[in-house]
Amino acid sequence: MCGIVAYVGARDAVGIIISGLHRLEYRGYDSAGIALCQEANGPLLVVKTPGKVLDLEKSLRDALLPYAGKKFTLGIGHTRWATHGEPNRENSHPHPSRNGNFAVVHNGIIENYGELKKRLIARGYSFASQTDTEVIAHLIEECYEGDFRGAVAAALEQLEGTYGIAVISRLHPDTIIAARQGSPIAIGIRDDETIIASDVSAIVTHTKQVIYLGDGDIVTATRENVDIASLKNVPVSHEMTHIDWDISQIEKGGYEHFMLKEIHEQPDSLANTLRGRLVPSEGSTRLGGMRMDLPDMAGLSRVAIAACGTSYYAGVVGKYLFEDFAGIPADVQQAAEYRDRNPIILPDSCMVAVSQSGETADTLAAVVEAKRKGIPVLGICNVVGSTIARETGRGVYLHAGPEIGVASTKAFTSQVAVLAMMAIAFGRARRLSVAEGRSMVDEMARIPDLARRVLEQEDAIRKLAHKYAGAHNFFYIGRGYMFPAAMEGALKLKEISYIHAEGYHAAELKHGPLALLEESVPVVAAVPDVPGKIKTLGNMQECKARKSPVIAIATENDSSVTAHCTDVIRIPACPEFLAAIPVVIAEQLFAYHIAKARGCPIDQPRNLAKSVTVE
Under the rule (CB under 6 A), what is the footprint of ligand F6R? 308-311, 355-357, 360, 363, 407-408, 491, 495, 612
Instruction: Please identify which of the residues 2, 308, 381, 574 carries the catalytic annotation.
Output: 2
Residue facing ligand F6R at closest CB distance: 309
Q: Is 2 a catalytic residue?
A: yes
395: left (phi over 0), alpha (psi -120 to 50) or beta: left
Give how far Cα 591 sits from Cα of 414, 415, 472, 567, 598, Å: 19, 20, 13, 16, 11
Alpha-carbon distance of 501 to 517, in angstroms, equals 12
Alpha-carbon distance of 243 to 391, in angstroms, equals 20
Q: Is 610 a catalytic residue?
A: yes
CB of 255 to ligand F6R, least distance (A): 17
Instruction: Please identify which of the residues 261, 319, 596, 610 carries the catalytic annotation.
Output: 610
Alpha-carbon distance of 429 to 423, in angstroms, equals 10
CB-based burial label for 10 (10 Å; 0-12, 13-18, 19+) = exposed
**Residue 314 or 540 with smaller CB distance to ligand F6R:** 314
**Residue 365 or 444 with smaller CB distance to ligand F6R:** 365
Alpha-carbon distance of 615 to 558, in angstroms, equals 45
Q: Whose CA is closest to 558, among 523, 589, 527?
A: 527
Alpha-carbon distance of 18 to 356, in angstroms, equals 26
CB of 309 to ligand F6R, least distance (A): 2
**Residue 49 or 360 with smaller CB distance to ligand F6R:** 360
**Residue 97 or 311 with smaller CB distance to ligand F6R:** 311
Give me the sheet containing 550-555, strands edge to edge.
Answer: 500-505, 473-478, 523-526, 550-555, 567-571
CB of 594 to ligand F6R, least distance (A): 15
8 A C-beta contact, residue 454 and residue 586? yes
CB of 27 to ligand F6R, least distance (A): 11
CB of 2 to ligand F6R, least distance (A): 16
Alpha-carbon distance of 32 to 72, in angstroms, equals 18
CB of 313 to ligand F6R, least distance (A): 8
- Strands, E, within 341-495: which ranges? 349-355, 377-381, 395-397, 473-478
Q: Residue 240: helix, strand or coil by DSSP?
A: coil
Give how far Cα 595 sits from Cα of 88, 470, 605, Å: 28, 10, 10
Give how far Cα 356 sits from Cα of 15, 21, 217, 383, 571, Å: 30, 21, 24, 7, 25
Residue 76 carries which side chain, given as an amino acid letter? I
**Residue 315 or 376 with smaller CB distance to ligand F6R:** 315
**Residue 195 or 352 with smaller CB distance to ligand F6R:** 352
**Residue 368 or 460 with smaller CB distance to ligand F6R:** 368
CB of 592 to ligand F6R, least distance (A): 12
**Residue 31 or 357 with smaller CB distance to ligand F6R:** 357
**Residue 202 or 353 with smaller CB distance to ligand F6R:** 353
CB-based burial label for 118 (10 Å; 0-12, 13-18, 19+) = exposed
- The number of C-alpha atoms within 13 Å of 378 and in the hemisphere containing its C-beta is 25
CB of 589 to ligand F6R, least distance (A): 14
Alpha-carbon distance of 145 to 127, in angstroms, equals 22
Counts for the chain of helices (H) and strands (E), in that order: 20, 26
Phi and psi, residue 154, nearest 5°: -65, -35
Q: Whose CA is closest to 73, among 36, 46, 103?
A: 36
**Residue 405 or 572 with smaller CB distance to ligand F6R:** 405
334: left (phi over 0), alpha (psi -120 to 50) or beta: beta
CB of 70 to ligand F6R, least distance (A): 41
CB of 91 to ligand F6R, least distance (A): 23
Q: How far is Cα of residue 69 from the mean position of the Cα atoms in its chain?
A: 40
Q: Residue 248: helix, strand or coil by DSSP?
A: helix
Helical segments of 379-409, H only:
387-392
Catalytic residue set? 2, 610
